[in-house]
A and B are shown apart, each in its own frame.
Chain A
């Protein structure tokens, strides 16, 4: 009987402490994951409840009016919403083609690795520059540099509404350009990853059929990497809409809406940065309302990104 009991015993008996460690690990990591989600919900809840007075007072009209008067306690954020969308749009307009171009150049074998690697690193380093430094650079370098160009645009193309005002120095276009530089590394890095991930076999199949390099890139590689590239662009858009410091420093912070991109303006985030310190009462609530809208905008962008990525993602 003694032999039979030893035979039925499990070959490796795990100690209780080892099992406990396993369980504990699952619990701890689970708590971290849930905790992060809860933080998001808590922020959303706080912003939501704090903005309630403003929502009750102004309703959806808040989105459609431009008046922001602390003395009369009348608030509307159309100017800022418009500024946020326009600066982000300008940023994408510049950064998307350049970013994808950079990604293409660095994903193909144009350069030997020892030259390519440092360039990749430098571009990614752009993302590491603090935004206040971008803002300073914008004030002292970019704006003076852009001024003659803005004057020329206004003088020659002033009949187009978006160039219809004389540039005042800071303005929407300066903010858009600063933003484009800030989001460029996001688009370039994510697009490059997506392009590099396209299997070599597919590339070779295209070359094997007598496709040139350009035909291969435009007809095979870019479509195959499409979902990844869109994902990168959307991430960049989210960054552009929320970016505060650099934009606040170069946009001019005027509460007036003007189609001209040479005019001054403001964004939701620059409004928040400028006013929160001295705000009280309904103004705080209105700022919270504006923050909620920004929150909503970025949420929409992210959901859209997710949908586009799913719709076009290709099984490779």
Chain B
């Protein structure tokens, strides 16, 4: 692990951004993001489609680096370390900051190998069986799969697959878990299971979750950022943060009219 990132684990503000502008080529996708993410809290990003919630989320583990036209200005600090500094290796960043995706995406491997993949990359020396069991238990999946660890992860149901992906993310013991609409392809029962899981996970991890579902944000999160989008003269749609506060403030007494309109269901 890079020493810069190791030291970074000590402070209480996990992420701090200053005036992030995110571009795809010439197109300004998101502007002026200034936000602080707190330790062991669940922070939700809500807002209408195309407002750049996921784009911002993917900056936090430098997954946007995979898109060739992506570039960014402004500052993004992970525990006082500039995450986009030249000496920072994005691969190291992603080992600290795990991610769960919108569509469950288990590897076409056994359940066991899905979990063991990350730890093996890191050269995990401990008892792998024990780590697999612990990760699956934390993801509330152990009882479903303990007798079929050799079966394909892709054969599980959608909800189980998503919990497998959460277990896979936990297995490398990250500091932060980013979740990009993790419940959007799940049925209501699986969704509730994942939400319950979030409450347990925040004891150990800092969680950022993008969601389309306002009830989910109000039920599950501690802090909420409301994103909106506006079009410029050329019709290009740029996202920005309207309001960021404790979740109950956003849902019960928001300062901005747009937030009020959105959380009461008048648009979006």
A209-B98 CB under 8 A given contacts A109-B68, A201-B103, A314-B154: yes
Give the contact-size bracket for chain A.
Answer: 20 to 34
- Binary contact readout B28-63 vs A (1 if CB under 8 angstroms, 0 otherwise): 000000000000000000000000000000000101
Once bound together, how far apart are the Cα atoms of A269 and B171, in whole Å? 56
Once bound together, how far apart are the Cα atoms of A199 and B94, in whole Å? 20
Once bound together, how far apart are the Cα atoms of A208 and B61, in whole Å? 8
Q: Is A315 an interface residue (CB 8 A)?
A: yes
Which of A37-45, A115-123, A211-219, A283-291 lies on the face that meets chain B? A211-219
A223-B66 CB under 8 A given contacts A209-B168, A209-B169: no
The smallest C-beta distance from B83 to any residue of chain A, in angstroms, reads 14
Q: Is A33 an interface residue (CB 8 A)?
A: no
Q: Is B251 an interface residue (CB 8 A)?
A: no
Q: Is B117 an interface residue (CB 8 A)?
A: yes
Q: Is A206 an interface residue (CB 8 A)?
A: yes
Once bound together, how far apart are the Cα atoms of A57 and B211, in whole Å? 78
A202 touches B105 (CB 8 A): yes
Question: Chain A contacts of B169 at CB under 8 A?
Answer: 208-209
Interface residues in B175-222 by Cβ distance below 8 A to A read none
B101 touches A208 (CB 8 A): yes
Q: Is B155 an interface residue (CB 8 A)?
A: yes
Q: Is B108 an interface residue (CB 8 A)?
A: yes
The smallest C-beta distance from B220 to any residue of chain A, in angstroms, reads 21
Q: Is B172 an interface residue (CB 8 A)?
A: yes
Q: Is A207 an interface residue (CB 8 A)?
A: yes
Once bound together, how far apart are the Cα atoms of A211 and B91, in whole Å? 7
**In the complex, residue of chain B having the shortest beta-carbon distance to the beta carbon of A315:** B154
The smallest C-beta distance from A115 to any residue of chain B, in angstroms, reads 13
Question: Chain A contacts of B91 at CB under 8 A?
Answer: 210-212
Once bound together, how far apart are the Cα atoms of A215 and B106, in whole Å? 16
* Inter-chain CB contacts under 8 Å: number: 70
Question: Chain A contacts of B155 at CB under 8 A?
Answer: 315
Most B Cβ at <10 Å: residue of A109, A202, A207, A219: A207
**Residue in B98, B103, B106, B109 whose beta carbon sits within 8 Å of that of A208 in the complex:** B98
The smallest C-beta distance from A201 to any residue of chain B, in angstroms, reads 4
- Binary contact readout B87-115 vs A (1 if CB under 8 angstroms, 0 otherwise): 00001111100110101011111000000
| Size of interface on B: residues with Cβ below 8 Å to A | 29
B105 touches A207 (CB 8 A): no
Question: Chain B contacts of A202 at CB under 8 A?
Answer: 105, 107-108
Question: Chain B contacts of A209 at CB under 8 A?
Answer: 94-95, 98, 117-118, 121, 168-169, 172
The smallest C-beta distance from A110 to any residue of chain B, in angstroms, reads 11
Q: Is A220 an interface residue (CB 8 A)?
A: yes
Q: Is A316 an interface residue (CB 8 A)?
A: yes
A207 touches B94 (CB 8 A): yes
Question: Chain A contacts of B168 at CB under 8 A?
Answer: 205, 209
Once bound together, how far apart are the Cα atoms of A210 and B121, in whole Å? 8
A211 touches B121 (CB 8 A): yes
Once bound together, how far apart are the Cα atoms of A315 and B161, in whole Å? 13
Question: Chain A contacts of B107 at CB under 8 A?
Answer: 202, 205-206, 220, 224
**Residue in A201, A208, A223, A316 whose beta carbon sits within 8 Å of that of B94 in the complex:** A208
Once bound together, how far apart are the Cα atoms of A258 and B169, in whole Å? 58
Once bound together, how far apart are the Cα atoms of A201 and B99, in whole Å? 12
A210 touches B94 (CB 8 A): yes
Q: A201-B101, A205-B165, A219-B117 are in contact. List 10 more A-B contacts (CB 8 A).
A: A201-B103, A201-B105, A202-B107, A202-B108, A204-B66, A206-B107, A207-B94, A208-B98, A209-B117, A215-B121
A sample of 14 cross-chain residue pairs with beta-carbon separation below 8 angstroms, ordered by A number, consists of A202-B105, A204-B66, A206-B107, A206-B117, A208-B94, A209-B117, A209-B121, A209-B169, A209-B172, A210-B94, A210-B121, A223-B109, A314-B108, A316-B154
Residues of A within 8 A of B (CB): 109, 199, 201-202, 204-212, 215, 219-220, 223-224, 314-316
